Amino acid sequence: MTSTLKFDAEQLARDYMHKTPGEILKLALNSFENIAISFSGAEDVVLIDMVKKIKPGVNVFSLDTGRLHPETYRFIEQVRNHYHINIEVLSPDHAALEKFVREKGLYSFYKDGHKECCGIRKVMPLRKKLNTLDAWITGQRKDQSPGTRADVPVVEKDPAFSTADRTLIKFNPLSFWTSAEVWQYIRDHDVPYNELHNKGYISIGCEPCTRPVLPNQHEREGRWWWEDATMKECGLHVGNKQKKIA
């Protein structure tokens, strides 16, 4: 297996930018033993489906913010049962969340933005998990958010969760895929998906911060619709904004 210090992410991003998602996944799985797939949406289940055919038994984790739709909780169990896998469900720190809700209530993000709430419900438990890994796999696509994801490479040194003494490698095998390609794969391979997609939802997060989109609206317009459309990241991929600003 490859050491993260010897892993040339920038060169491999160039070498693999025109490779298939399957080839990128093989690179990831052959390079790192201590690796996991982050699962929440349709793209991530496509990755799980692909990985099951390459190397069964890869660690899969999902964030339970405590504010997900009932359909999303059922979806997690559907994926668990369909693929006969264990999904590690990560929860927010109880004390931090209790303090936040006590001081600011349950819907403060409508007034002062979603950053603080997502920080407690998503970023903190994710950071705790990623601190145990050498690499992780995400379902990010370039066209998901023109403001923040247009430059997402297929492999990178994670700019958000690496530290001065520890490099975390991040793989984005679907970076160059479109939404149409994702859904074609789902149909062709009978991949399970969140039933909210049948109700007009495209990008799905927490229930208070997600709504269906209208015809011809971009998928991210259904997330945090009261905020700046070019900066819609919850913190899981905050490095995208850092790169965009840079």
Question: What is residue 12's DSSP assignment?
Answer: H
| Amino acid letter for position 197 | H
d(CA 170, CA 173): 10
Contact (CB, 8 A) for 201 and 118: no
What separation, in Å, do the N-terminal and C-terminal C-alpha atoms of the chain show?
Answer: 32
Q: Is 117 a catalytic residue?
A: no
For residue 182, count CB atoms less than 10 angstroms from its CB and return exposed for 0-12, middle for 13-18, buried for 19 or more. buried
Q: In terms of residues, how long is the chain?
A: 246
d(CA 105, CA 112): 12
- CB < 8 Å & 24+ apart, contacts of 69-72: 69/196, 69/204, 69/207, 69/210, 71/194, 71/195, 71/196, 72/194, 72/196, 72/204
Residue of 117, 118, 209, 234 marked catalytic: 234
Give the strand order in the sheet containing 169-171: 87-90, 59-63, 35-38, 135-137, 169-171, 155-157
Residues recognised as catalytic: 234
